[in-house]
Amino acid sequence: MKTANNHSSENKGREAGGLSQALKAFGVLGGIGIFFAVVIGICIFMGSLADDLLGLAYGGKLVGIILGVPVAFYLTYKQLKGII
């Protein structure tokens, strides 16, 4: 009987540890996704400002998207480099 209780408490500890790891991973990945979207959004906004100032049709927004994606990847890599 004593060993059965001991095994069940070990399983509960493992389940709680697995759940906390899953929640931690979800938080990190969710934060990365939000960071990625914000960086691209800032680049698109800056491209929109360039459209207004320079009188471009949609060229500034397009350049903002084209530059925003690699910038977001690079900044995300730098941010994750310390975690991994």
Model-level pTM greater than 0.75? no
Residue range 2-54, pLDDT digits in tens = 555 555 555 565 666 788 888 888 888 888 899 999 999 999 999 999 999 98
Report pLDDT for 16: 67
Domain membership flag for residue 17: no
* Dist. CA 18–CA 24, nearest whole Å: 10
In a domain? residue 64: yes
Domain count, the chain: 1
Which H/E stretch holds residue 44?
helix 2-54
Terminal-residue alpha carbon distance, the chain: 43
Look at residue 28 in the predicted model and tell me its pLDDT. 84
33 belongs to a structural domain: yes
Q: pLDDT class for 57, splitting at 50, 70, 90?
A: confident
Among 3, 78, 5, CA closest to 36: 78
| pLDDT at site 80 | 82
76 lies in a domain?
Answer: yes
